[in-house]
Structure 1
Amino acid sequence: MEQLSAGQKLDRAFEKLGKKKTLSFELDLDTDVASLKALDAKSDPEPGEEIPEQAAELLSGAKITVTVQSKRPLDESGEKDLVGTALKVSTPDGDLAEYRVIGDFTYVRADMAAMGEMAGSPVPDAGDLPPEAGAMKDVIEGKWVKIDTKEMEKVTGDSRKAEGGPAPAPSLDAKTQKKLVKALREVIAREVKFKTADGANGTEHVKATAPFRTLVTELFGEIRPLVKDLPPGMDLPTDKDLKEAPDAKVTADFTLKNGALSQVDVDLAKLAESAEVKKLGLTLRMREGAKPTVPAGATKLDLNELMNGFFGGSEMGDPESA
């Protein structure tokens, strides 16, 4: 029987993920309100810009779930191969926001009341909106709306041009992606120490430990020769920036089940370099991907009409034509 090193086991676990055509993962921020406030205080915000209590409470229990579906195995896929993507942000009190991109449309819904409380800026009541608000009433009420994806890209692109902002950055080509993965693997092989241990229910743990500053410095050192192949605007941190990064050792705990990656836990509290930040971690759980589905009853939201009329403050014409 072939004996694999901890690093080889981890490589094979990631390769198994890449062979899937549909994959879901859940990102859980493992922290508490006190730690988030201490972390915010350490960043020295301007008076009045401190993180609100409500926002800290929501973030401390937030989970992000992402699903990707492709026509080809994910490690061979490009943007054109994706047939469905979905992202949901949830809290213990319910879903906060969700969007799905399926076919020609992007579907969106959000708990606007909760988001308004988090931002400290309550949203208006849907009944108080003028008739020309149209589908915006559904947005306020947290119902599904759908937006033509090409129209959305055009409107956001035109908005960037009008504001003198940069155009959307192109995605990385497959060749550059492979170069980045190769660079990452080389740095990990040099700088990361691996250790294996048996877990419960037939699982196995691979723990990877490395000093954070050394790891990111080496990683960006490998990436810099590839800058010419990266999309415009992807500026890398300077050597001076990296010297200010914490040099504490960080451990990532990878849980493998039947050789496949099922969970990753990372404790980031040491990176905060503050005794007040007692709980700060990330947990990433892998799930069998379920095909993203079209939500029923979504109202079409016309962005051009919305931007030129409701938000532009001009007349929108006949409401019945909306």
Structure 2
Amino acid sequence: MEQLTAGQKLDAAFEKLGQEKTISFELDLDTDERSLKALDALSDPEPGEEIPDEAVGLLSGAKVSFTMQSKKPIDESGEEDYVGMAMKVSIEDGDVVEYRVIGDDVYVRTDTAALGEAMGMPVPSAKDLPPEAGALKKVLEGAWVTFDAEAMEETASGLGEEPSPEPTLDAKTQKKLLAAVRSTIAREVEFKTAEGKDGSEHVTATAPFRTLMTELLGEIRPLAKSLPPGMELPTEKDLKDAPNAEVTADFTLNDGKLTEVYVDLAKLAESAKVKKLGLKLRLGEGQTVKAPADATELDVEELLGGFGAAMMGEEGFGEEGFGEEEF
């Protein structure tokens, strides 16, 4: 009875979420530097190819925020129904990348200095660029810039870089995939409920990783011919060495509404040195995606020309320029 009740509560929470027209959520990797380095060591990197300290610091403190805004409920929306999308990547020192799409207009802002420092890569300042770089200077100054997505595609097409169509699933295949996922979860996942300290309710879903993935792919494999090109499914041989440790996802519900999901991945590392490794997703009130008031409009051809000018050898970034290894 508890298994049925917990699953029903989770189903109802996702159905309620799907009826929203705007969804905002934040995703972060819940880990620490020691666990990340231990995880990297498990891959047995070549000497000198270990994960840099700067990248460890970036990953352990990074957060990614998303917002999707549609004219229809999210679970009824197609690509043409979305009127706004936004993404922001933040680290402990502040926001490093922000991206918004409203209709055909794309808005981008990047803190190139902070991003370069976090990644351990040299990044030029705007003053180091030649006059021919034009609008690219605005990008390096961290200002909001905007361009027309359709114009960008047309320019890329004119350069012989025709963009590939986005892989899509037809409605019939989507329903079959959803049925396959639900069937597998009902068989292989154990659900439990518990009361939280703040009046919230927690639904935990636990399953052995390799068994769950093997069963799920077994259900999906008959649909492989209906999947878009490039969506290759792992084979049973690929999954043979995957860990079969039990993975638990903790779903937090408030008044039946999904507010947080936490997935503990530490056991999949199969190493006592990886003590903290999880994914945390927090859902909040949907935010309206707005265009920045101070965005500078970019001419796509001018921007591409600026990149070309900036990459010129002798007219590169400053007097010293970049060596081949740094570039």
Partner of 1:75: 75
What are the residue-to-residue correspondences of 1:83-94 with 2, within 5 Å?
83-94=83-94
Partner of 1:296: 293
CA distance in 2, matches of 1:251, 1:17: 21
CA distance in 2, matches of 1:300, 1:110: 15
Partner of 2:317: none
CA distance in 2, matches of 1:23, 1:252: 21
Please list every run of 5 or more consecutive structure 2 residues that lacks an aligned counterpart in the other structure.
Answer: 313-327
**Any conservation in 2 of the 1:209–1:249 contact (CA below 8 Å)?**
yes
Question: Could you tell me the TM-score, scaled by structure 2's length?
Answer: 0.89
**CA pair 84-280 structure 1, distance change in 2 beyond 3 A:** same
**CA pair 66-158 structure 1, distance change in 2 beyond 3 A:** farther
1:170 aligned onto 2:167? yes
The one-letter code sitting in structure 2 at the alignment partner of 1:49 is E
Partner of 2:231: 234
Partner of 2:196: 199
| Matching residue within 231, 243, 251 for 1:246 | 243
| 1:5 match: secondary structure | helix
The Cα of 1:310 is off from its aligned counterpart by: 3.5
| 1:200 match: secondary structure | coil
**Any conservation in 2 of the 1:217–1:242 contact (CA below 8 Å)?**
yes
Partner of 1:263: 260
What are the residue-to-residue correspondences of 1:142-161 with 2, within 5 Å?
142-155=142-155, 161=161
Partner of 2:322: none
| 2:29 match: secondary structure | strand
What are the residue-to-residue correspondences of 1:41-190 with 2, within 5 Å?
41-155=41-155, 161=161, 167-190=164-187
**Any conservation in 2 of the 1:52–1:118 contact (CA below 8 Å)?**
no
**Any conservation in 1 of the 2:138–2:145 contact (CA below 8 Å)?**
yes
Per-residue deviation, residues 214-241 of structure 1 (Å, max 9, x unmatched)? 1111111111111222111111111111
Question: Could you tell me the TM-score, scaled by structure 1's length?
Answer: 0.90
**Any conservation in 1 of the 2:58–2:119 contact (CA below 8 Å)?**
no
Partner of 2:325: none
The one-letter code sitting in structure 2 at the alignment partner of 1:131 is P
| 2:251 match: secondary structure | strand
**Any conservation in 2 of the 1:195–1:207 contact (CA below 8 Å)?**
yes
The one-letter code sitting in structure 1 at the alignment partner of 2:239 is L
**Any conservation in 1 of the 2:136–2:306 contact (CA below 8 Å)?**
no
Partner of 1:209: 206
The one-letter code sitting in structure 2 at the alignment partner of 1:55 is A
Per-residue deviation, residues 113-144 of structure 1 (Å, max 9, x unmatched)? 12212332211111111122122111112111
CA distance in 2, matches of 1:240, 1:131: 56
Identity score, percent: 67
**Any conservation in 2 of the 1:169–1:232 contact (CA below 8 Å)?**
no
| 1:121 match: secondary structure | coil
1:27 aligned onto 2:24? no
The Cα of 1:269 is off from its aligned counterpart by: 0.5
Please list every run of 5 or more consecutive structure 1 residues that lacks an aligned counterpart in the other structure.
Answer: 315-322
The one-letter code sitting in structure 2 at the alignment partner of 1:19 is Q
**CA pair 303-244 structure 1, distance change in 2 beyond 3 A:** farther
The Cα of 1:157 is off from its aligned counterpart by: 6.1
CA distance in 2, matches of 1:212, 1:224: 18
CA distance in 2, matches of 1:157, 1:215: 43
CA RMSD across the alignment = 2.0
Count of equivalent residues: 309
The one-letter code sitting in structure 2 at the alignment partner of 1:203 is S
Per-residue deviation, residues 37-88 of structure 1 (Å, max 9, x unmatched)? 1112222333333221111111101111100000000000011000000011
**CA pair 274-15 structure 1, distance change in 2 beyond 3 A:** same
**Any conservation in 1 of the 2:260–2:283 contact (CA below 8 Å)?**
yes
Partner of 1:320: none
The one-letter code sitting in structure 1 at the alignment partner of 2:237 is K
The Cα of 1:308 is off from its aligned counterpart by: 4.3
The Cα of 1:4 is off from its aligned counterpart by: 6.3
**CA pair 104-113 structure 1, distance change in 2 beyond 3 A:** same
